[in-house]
A and B are shown apart, each in its own frame.
Chain A
Amino acid sequence: MHFAFSDEQLQLRRAVRGVLEVECTVRALRDLGGASREEQALQAAVRWRALAALGLAGLLVPTAEGGLGLNTVDLMGIFEEAGWWALPEPLLESAGVAAPMLAALSPAQPAAGALHDLVARDTPVALGGIDVGATGPTSPTTVSADGMLRTPRVAGARDAEVYVLACRDPDSGWQLHAVPARACRVHPTATLDRTRDLSTVHWPLSADTLLAFGIAAEASVGLMVDRAATGSAAFLIGLGDRLVVLAADHARERYRSGQGFGDLRAARYLLADAKVRLELARPAAYRAAWSLATAQPTASRDASMAKAMASDAAELAGRAALQVFGAVGHTVQCDLHLFLRRTWALCGAWGDAVTHRQLLLAQTGRMTARR
Chain B
Amino acid sequence: MDLTFDADQEGFRAEARAWLAAHVPTEPLPPLGTPAGLDAHRAWEAALFAARWSVVHWPVEFGGRDAGIVRWLIFEEEYARARAPRRVSGAGISLAGAALLEHGRAAQKERFLPPMASGEEIWCGAWPEPGNHGDLADVRWRAVRNAGGDGWVLNGQRAPVAQGAVAQWCFCILRSQGDPESRGGLSCFLVALDSRGVTVRPIAPMDGEAGLAEILFEDVEVPDSQLLVDRGPGVSIAATVPGAGHGLGLRSAAPLTEAAARLIDLFRQRGSPAWAADAVARAQVNAQATALHALWTASKAAGGQLVGPEASCNEIFWSEADVTIRRTALALLGPEAELLDSGSPDPWLNGYLDALADQIETGTHQLHHDVVADHLLGLPQG
Task: Please tell me if A368 contacts chain B, counting CB pairs below 8 Å.
Answer: yes
A280 contacts B298, CB within 8 Å? no
Q: From residue B162, how far is it (CB to closest CB) to chain A in Å?
A: 24
With A4-B299, A268-B373, A368-B264 as known contacts, state yes or no: A358 contacts B277, CB within 8 Å.
yes
Q: From residue B132, how far is it (CB to closest CB) to chain A in Å?
A: 9
In the bound complex, residues from chain B placing their C-beta under 8 Å from that of A269 are 366, 369, 373
Q: From residue A262, how far is it (CB to closest CB) to chain B in Å?
A: 9
Task: Please tell me if B43 contacts chain A, counting CB pairs below 8 Å.
Answer: no
In the bound complex, residues from chain B placing their C-beta under 8 Å from that of A4 are 1, 296, 299-300, 303
Choice from B70, B300, B373 contacting A272 with Cβ under 8 Å: B373
B296 contacts A283, CB within 8 Å? yes
Task: Please tell me if A252 contacts chain B, counting CB pairs below 8 Å.
Answer: yes
B3 contacts A1, CB within 8 Å? yes
Q: From residue A257, how far is it (CB to closest CB) to chain B in Å?
A: 12
With A3-B295, A255-B382 as known contacts, state yes or no: A268 contacts B369, CB within 8 Å.
yes
A265–B380 Cα distance when bound, in Å, is: 10
B289 contacts A3, CB within 8 Å? no
Bin chain B's interface residue count: 35 or more
* Prevailing SS type, chain A contact patch: helix
With A1-B4, A287-B3 as known contacts, state yes or no: A276 contacts B303, CB within 8 Å.
no
A271–B369 Cα distance when bound, in Å, is: 9
Task: Please tell me if B181 contacts chain A, counting CB pairs below 8 Å.
Answer: no
Chain B minimum-CB-distance residue to A288: B292
Q: From residue A277, how far is it (CB to closest CB) to chain B in Å?
A: 7
B292 contacts A1, CB within 8 Å? no
Q: From residue A88, how far is it (CB to closest CB) to chain B in Å?
A: 28
Q: From residue B238, how far is it (CB to closest CB) to chain A in Å?
A: 13
In the bound complex, residues from chain A placing their C-beta under 8 Å from that of B379 are 248, 251-252, 264, 267-268, 271
List CB contacts (< 8 Å) of B1-45 with chain A: 1-6, 9
A360 contacts B380, CB within 8 Å? no
List CB contacts (< 8 Å) of B261-306 with chain A: 261, 264, 277-278, 280-282, 284-285, 288-290, 292-293, 295-296, 298-300, 303
A273–B303 Cα distance when bound, in Å, is: 27
A275 contacts B303, CB within 8 Å? no
Q: From residue B196, how far is it (CB to closest CB) to chain A in Å?
A: 41
A309–B261 Cα distance when bound, in Å, is: 19
In the bound complex, residues from chain B placing their C-beta under 8 Å from that of A73 are 1
Chain B minimum-CB-distance residue to A308: B285
Q: From residue A79, how far is it (CB to closest CB) to chain B in Å?
A: 15
Write 19 A-B pairs (CB below 8 A) sorted by A numbering. A2-B299, A255-B380, A255-B382, A268-B379, A272-B369, A275-B313, A275-B376, A276-B317, A279-B310, A283-B289, A283-B295, A283-B296, A290-B2, A305-B289, A357-B281, A358-B281, A360-B284, A361-B280, A364-B284
Nearest 7 pairs between A and B by C-beta? A357-B281, A283-B296, A264-B382, A283-B292, A272-B372, A268-B373, A361-B281
Binding site for A on B (CB under 8 A): 1-6, 9, 70, 81, 261, 264, 277-278, 280-282, 284-285, 288-290, 292-293, 295-296, 298-300, 303, 310, 313-314, 316-317, 366, 369-370, 372-373, 376-380, 382
Q: A264-B382, A290-B1 are in contact. List 10 more A-B contacts (CB 8 A).
A: A248-B379, A269-B373, A272-B376, A276-B317, A280-B290, A284-B288, A286-B292, A305-B288, A308-B282, A364-B264
